[in-house]
Structure 1
């Protein structure tokens, strides 16, 4: 009886506070739509790890190897995170504050996703920055802004004292995101032209920007925000974007690097990009 009730509540993103981790795990498994969004990601992450190991087996250039390591970390982090989610380990039940559409109700909050994003998205940016031939200053700025975006997004999801403050955190997170977008669209796009990697960089840039824009949109529409979409639909939205923004992204990147290792090796040493005048400046 408890399991049936839990499934009904999970469909709406609402879970009784007194549920144990075992009961949460069972309730997730009984919600086919929710469970499939997690298990499919675990399977694809595992397959991606094996495929990427094969693709990068012959890389010899240090920069190409570093891009490979950064790309490999993406599915490694993801398989760990999704295992935590599907087991109920990284899921909490928070009472929504007054003003929220589900005010006073315990809402399923998969905070483990933020842990994934805080660890995996910096790896994506490191790979992109290396591909573009970016300098250390831009790379550091992009990564720290990205981590700030994820941490403040987590704060938005976990704040239960005030509905307004949830949205304040959301706006702060979006502000960090704007910094990341600027570096991707302006700074690194120009660096990639100089480095000779513009074609593949622009493909990956568009893929990243378009999909990353979807995360704050679905947060706002999901149970954590306006509660327009239920938890299972939101979970599939996140999982679908993860599949493309992480595994497909890493596949396209590693395939290009494996085929163009000489181009990567010919970039300026370290993390310093070639200057606009054609000279190679010292690293920052």
Structure 2
């Protein structure tokens, strides 16, 4: 009798709480969606080519600031190739049941949470490179880096919250507030520093490329499966992948091309002096 009761309880438990998908099953689900799978492998290939190209471009850079910009930029495709390999293998993907109020409430949605890990590591590198290019100081660079890290972490919380539909959007709102902080540094403070540093031309190009592409991420989140589910998971993934190509590989190529061709100008920049600081520097005694 006890054995029968235990068996009945096991059957009941399985019927109420479905077993979590194994990594092999998630991997197979990715393989079965050719469009989704292609969005991962396209970036793996481009990241690999970018790493080889960027190593070649930076092989003769001597100046310390220029080297630091190069290292920060090189880390972007290095992080990306690791992240996209995790997505393609099913390691950093989960199926989560959407909460009541969501467009597909009660259904399981494929959540690519590994992307947020990529952004939490790669976007700080982008901002460090931009801050150094602008000749900005440590405080402003630190503010931008912590802001973008918090933006990515709270975005991850929005994607993983299944307890409440409202809480998903509240996390999304918090993430957007951190994004505005980053934009303030990028669009208001650093352009002034770049004018003083003499790098305003290339900085303004990269600033606009970064701002425009980064605006695309919350838009895709809101329209995609994690938001109102207007876009399916494969289209959402390709949207993110295209933005990554523009915001990472194209950005990095433009930046490193400038650094390689203008290393002497980079070497002549004052360390940590932006526009806001140079106005307060006291003149030296005669």
TM-score, normalised by the number of residues in structure 1: 0.90
Structure 2: distance between partners of 1:24 and 1:119: 24
1:82 to 81, 84, 87: 84
Aligned residue number for residue 273 of structure 1: 274
The alignment covers a number of residue pairs equal to: 265
Pairing 1:1-284 to 2, within 5 Å after superposition: 18-269=20-271, 271-273=272-274, 275-277=277-279
Matched residue SS, 1:225: coil
Matched residue SS, 2:217: helix
CA contact (8 A) 2:93 2:111 kept: yes
Matched residue SS, 1:22: helix
Matched residue SS, 2:186: helix
Task: Give the stretch that moved more between structures: 19-28 or 222-231.
Answer: 19-28
Assess, with a 3 A threshold, how the Cα gap between structure 1 residues 280 and 38 changes in structure 2: closer, same or farther.
Answer: farther
Shift of 1:21: 1.4
Deviations 1:108-146 (A, max 9, x none): 111000000000000000000000001111000000000
Matched residue SS, 2:105: coil
Q: Which runs of 5+ in 2 are unaligned?
A: 1-17
Assess, with a 3 A threshold, how the Cα gap between structure 1 residues 280 and 49 changes in structure 2: closer, same or farther.
Answer: farther
Q: Which runs of 5+ in 1 are unaligned?
A: 1-15
Aligned residue number for residue 5 of structure 2: none
User: Looking at CA atoms only, which structure, 1 or 2, has the larger radius of gyration?
Assistant: 2
What root-mean-square deviation, in Å, do the aligned CA atoms of Structure 1 and Structure 2 show? 1.5
TM-score, normalised by the number of residues in structure 2: 0.90
